[in-house]
Chain A
Amino acid sequence: MGQSTVTGTDATFAELIGSDIPTLVDFWAEWCGPCKMMDRPLEEIAADRAGQIQIVKLNVDENPSTAMQYGVMSIPTMMIFQAGQEKKRLVGARSKAQLEAEIASFVS
């Protein structure tokens, strides 16, 4: 599978969420089992909806200041941003269908 998601870092975060298109950020870590379940659905959505929504993966272990800034206390957490503003926060793993439903109002 090719990679359609974008790897975010503390340094690039502000620029990424300021994108012209909505951005879903997946806060994850290597040691989090449930986070691994999100890999495939997010990769598929990123590929299916290229140009409509940007999917950013942010490793909280390597980028603790962004996670701290947004008060992430549980992973997986996914946040949807529009023009740099947090619009929605999902805590806990979701299926692809559930994710599609959550992002529906942000992609047209």
Chain B
Amino acid sequence: MAEKVLVVGSGPAGLTAAIYAARADLDPLMIEGMERGGQLMLTTEVENFPGFPEGIMGPELMDSMRKQAERFGTRIVSSDVTKVDLSSRPFKVWVGDDLYEAESLIISTGASARWLGIPGESRLRGYGVSACATCDGFFFRDREIAIVGGGDSAMEEAIFLTKFASKVTIVHRREEFRASKIMSQRALDHPKIEVLWNTTVEEVLGDDLVTGLRVKNVKTGESSTLPVEGFFLAIGHDPNTSIFQDQLDLDPSGYIVTDSGSTKTSVDGVFAAGDVVDHYYQQAVTAAGMGCRAAIDVEHWLNEN
């Protein structure tokens, strides 16, 4: 028998949708994915989620949301969705060879860290190249490292990495950060942090381990080598929508398009919430809010259909 509602993804959007759907007796099934808990699993202290005046660790917040979803009966499958067919109802969702059918879908697959795609980057991943400062910072005690990016996450990660590294160089392609004033200032004021402005990373150097970066000043065109043993990326995220291509309307950057003022996608009965839709706010609390809206939209839609 088809599920009433199937939730794909398990970040704040998906788990909030599951909590609401479960409390509305829709008996949701969640396919949480390999990156269970989403991007917050890669963070440390979350200081801006309301209700936690002392802050809360990202993974702890996600574990709590997951428990809350389970408490109301959400069933959880711990794998990645590999294929979907949204052309007819019930919708079909595959996890490898296992087929799930559902009357309605909430897509909350989020976004994943972007890579530069430069030579050496993927070859040296795990050998000095990392997109998870909280996971891997520990291994760079007393070493010099670099991080590329200019947003709030880059500032936060650069500051986090100073706990371990002897020096952190932020490489940024423009002459000012995109990050909020408070975060930029915290990074700029830090004695262990230096900034290379107007600079791009062209190549990660090293045979078996990272030994440096080939960087280029975009103003002068001059190339030089920055000797570092670690290279962290914090250059933003891409929406996880490859499995929905040609089945749902996506914007040019790959985000799912929803009706304004609702979570409805281009396919009737398919709803979307969180960073997979939102390339602007991208906060845990905004994602949770959208997840709530998606569950309420689904409930109304199921009543009408």
Complex interface bits, B34-74 against A, C-beta within 8 A gives 1, otherwise 0: 11110011111000000000000011001000000000000
Report how many residues on chain A are interfacial, defined by Cβ distance under 8 Å.
26
Q: Which of B225-248 contact A (CB under 8 A)?
A: 230
Q: Is the CB of A91 within 8 A of B37?
A: no
Q: Which residue, B40, B138, B209, has most C-beta atoms of chain A within 10 A?
A: B138
- Residues of B that sit less than 8 Å from A by CB: 34-37, 40-44, 58-59, 62, 78-80, 96, 125-128, 130, 132, 134-136, 138-140, 209, 230
Q: Is the CB of B135 within 8 A of A93?
A: no
Q: Which of A36-56 contact B (CB under 8 A)?
A: 36-37, 40
Q: Is the CB of A91 within 8 A of B80?
A: no
- A-B complex: 7 closest residue pairs judged by Cβ atoms: A33-B41, A91-B126, A74-B126, A73-B139, A32-B135, A33-B59, A74-B136
Which residues from B are CB-within-8-Å of A37?
A: 34-36, 78
- Residues of A that sit less than 8 Å from B by CB: 29, 31-37, 40, 60-61, 67, 71-75, 77, 89, 91-97
Q: If A33-B42, A34-B41 touch, does A74 touch B139 (CB 8 Å cutoff)? A: yes
Which single member of A32, A71, A89 contacts B209 (CB below 8 Å)?
A: A71
Which single member of A40, A67, A92, A94 contacts B126 (CB below 8 Å)?
A: A92
26 sample A-B contacts, Cβ–Cβ < 8 Å, listed by A number = A31-B44, A31-B59, A31-B138, A33-B62, A33-B134, A35-B135, A36-B36, A37-B36, A61-B138, A67-B139, A71-B209, A73-B126, A73-B130, A73-B136, A73-B140, A73-B209, A73-B230, A74-B130, A75-B135, A75-B136, A92-B125, A92-B126, A93-B34, A94-B34, A95-B34, A95-B80
CB A98 to nearest CB in B, in angstroms, measures: 9
Which residues from A are CB-within-8-Å of B79?
A: 95-97
